[in-house]
Amino acid sequence: MVHLLIIIAGVYVATLGFAVLINVSPKYLNDGGIVGVAGYLVYLAYYTYIGGYVGGNVLGAFTLGIFGMIAARIKKAPVIIFNIPALVPLVPGGQAYQVMKNIAMNKPRVAFGFLMQVLMIAGSLAMGFLLAELVIQLFNYSMRSMKRRRKTA
Amino acid sequence: MTETEPVKKSKEYKNKVVQTCLLAGTILIENGSELNRVSDTIKRIAKNADLNDLNAYVTITGIMISANDEAGAQIKEIEKRTFNLRRIAAVNRLSRDYAQGKISIGRFYNLLNKINRFGLYYPYWMMMLSAALISGCISVVFNNDIHDFFITCLVGMLGWVIFSVISTRVQASFISEFMAAASIGAMAIFAVHIGLGQSTDNIIIGSVMPLVPGVQITNSFRDLISGNLISGPARGIEALICACALGFGVAFSLIWLG
């Protein structure tokens, strides 16, 4: 439990820190942090209970896209303000580092394994964003058509 | 505001709308917006100004806008690209205000001109502190390594300071990432050597995190998803070279000192 709390606090602070570095307005900082924690928690839950980093990253990025969109609607601000800092905890930094380290240490086989992991994670993050975009656009479309039907009726 | 408002549907009015679209698009791209938002904003401004036959061709290095045969096409080149989401949010707010009819087109143009003088929200020490906190927290989250928290904070902060100092003084891109990553590697190895830290790997992974091209990666995804096949790959390559510069920097110090 303490471990989980430490992780949540770490993700929140890291998201906030990245938001400060790219000059996000102070009134959006907290929401960005919440979006980041939500995305990472979904990833962590999938990774712990079901297993596999690909599915975890897809679901994490999906949650992040949806929550970012909700935050943008509520706060009337661009989506990227919430999405960019929230992506930071999901970026495959550790694996990318292992690729470089193993190439430098002349172990190309190990490096190739880590490189595949990096590519899979990057692809699944893109996939998650794509799914989130799909759901959001379907939602917008159905809202619009409902309004149109109400007008004609 | 002493400037007189141009009469609607006159040639000056159309010219002003095109100039406003151009300026808004330039500010958005220069400060790291995704391209979908840029063309969307330009089309919204044109629609709200009753200029329905406006066409915009937006790429990451330049914008072309033509209204119709009266007001000719205008081109703007974009040379520098930084990341400042405050300005993007400001353009977004002004565009919303214009759509609701709160401001006129002349005032919109004047306010857009002021956005370029917006500074940063946070003082330098606060950005240093946040770079330190990102490094430490990411190290804890990724590796469950609480012992190295403080030394990772210190190394990450120094790495970010080196990055910002070099990137404001040297014009060549990617050199600053390389130098910062190389010095992060050297500092991490040295810190473990004198007994301040335990794991070189964890310190380096955490400390490199403030320099990771997160904005470019996200924007590249979003551009590709929205079908912008010129700017999406361009941003992706920018992110890739940036990541390679970081990786080579770390590898450089690992080979020579590790």
Concatenating the DSSP letter of every residue in A100-132 gives HHHHHTT-HHHHHHHHHHHHHHHHHHHHHHHHH
**Average of pLDDT values for A10-22?**
91
> Closest residue of A to B41, CA-based?
A78
What pLDDT score was predicted for residue B1? 43
Strand partners, B66: B55
- Measured distance CA(B121)–CA(B109) in Å, rounded: 23
What pLDDT score was predicted for residue B2? 45
The ranges assigned to domains in chain B are 11-115, 124-257
Q: Do A100 and B255 touch (CB under 8 A)?
A: no
What pLDDT score was predicted for residue A37? 93
- Measured distance CA(A59)–CA(B253) in Å, rounded: 36
* Dihedral-angle region of residue A61 (phi above 0 means left; psi in -120 to 50 means alpha; beta otherwise): alpha
Q: What is the pLDDT of residues A70-101, one digit of tens each?
A: 999 898 888 888 888 888 888 887 888 888 88
Give the distance from residue A11's alpha carbon to the nearest chain B alpha carbon, in angstroms.
7
Residue A7 has pLDDT above 80, yes or no: yes
Does A78 contact B at CB distance below 8 Å?
yes
Mutate to test the interface with B, among A7, A8, A18 (most CBs of B within 10 A): A18
Q: Do B254 and A3 touch (CB under 8 A)?
A: no
What pLDDT score was predicted for residue B3? 54
- Measured distance CA(B24)–CA(A137) in Å, rounded: 25
Q: CB–CB of A75/A145 below 8 Å?
A: no
Does A131 contact B at CB distance below 8 Å?
no
Alpha-carbon A104 to chain mean position: 30
Strand partners, B64: B57, B75
* A–B CB contacts, 8 A cutoff, strictly below: 154
| Band of pLDDT at residue A119, cut at 50, 70 and 90 | confident
Tokens for B226, please give them. 């929205």
User: What are residue B112's phi and psi, to 5 degrees?
Assistant: -65, -35
* DSSP β-ladder status, B62-66 and B74-77: antiparallel
* Dihedral-angle region of residue A105 (phi above 0 means left; psi in -120 to 50 means alpha; beta otherwise): alpha
SS3 content of chain A, % helix, strand, coil (to 5): 90, 0, 10
| Exposure on the CB side of residue B57, measured as CA atoms within 13 A | 8
Count of domains observed in chain A: 1
| Residue B26 CB neighbours (<10 A) | 19
What pLDDT score was predicted for residue B5? 67
Q: CB–CB of B239/B223 below 8 Å?
A: no
The three-class DSSP label of residue B56 is strand
Tokens for B240, please give them. 């890739």
- Chain A residues within 8 A of B224 when measuring between CB atoms: 126
Q: Do B85 and A24 touch (CB under 8 A)?
A: yes
Residues contacting residue A107 through CB under 8 Å, at least 6 positions apart:
none
Q: CB–CB of A19/A32 below 8 Å?
A: yes
Give the distance from residue A14's alpha carbon to the nearest chain B alpha carbon, in angstroms.
4
Mutate to test the interface with A, among B120, B134, B143 (most CBs of A within 10 A): B134
Comparing CA positions, the residue from B38, B60, B64 lying closest to residue B216 is B60
Give the distance from residue B2's alpha carbon to the nearest chain A alpha carbon, in angstroms.
31
Strand partners, B75: B64
What pLDDT score was predicted for residue A61? 92
Q: Do B130 and A17 touch (CB under 8 A)?
A: yes
- Measured distance CA(B85)–CA(B73) in Å, rounded: 29
Tokens for B51, please give them. 């200029």
Tokens for B109, please give them. 């143009």
What pLDDT score was predicted for residue B4? 60
Does A123 contact B at CB distance below 8 Å?
no
- Chain A residues within 8 A of B219 when measuring between CB atoms: 80
What domain range includes position A44? 2-152
| Residue B228 CB neighbours (<10 A) | 22
User: What are residue B50's phi and psi, to 5 degrees?
Assistant: 60, 35
User: What are residue B158's phi and psi, to 5 degrees?
Assistant: -65, -40
Mutate to test the interface with A, among B85, B135, B148 (most CBs of A within 10 A): B85
> Closest residue of B to A21, CA-based?
B127
Residue A132 has pLDDT above 80, yes or no: yes
Per-run averaged pLDDT (10 residues), chain B, 258 residues: 62 84 90 85 87 84 81 82 85 89 86 82 88 90 84 92 89 86 92 87 89 80 81 85 87 84
- Measured distance CA(A125)–CA(A119) in Å, rounded: 10
DSSP at B6:
P
Tokens for B126, please give them. 């606060």
> Closest residue of B to A102, CA-based?
B251
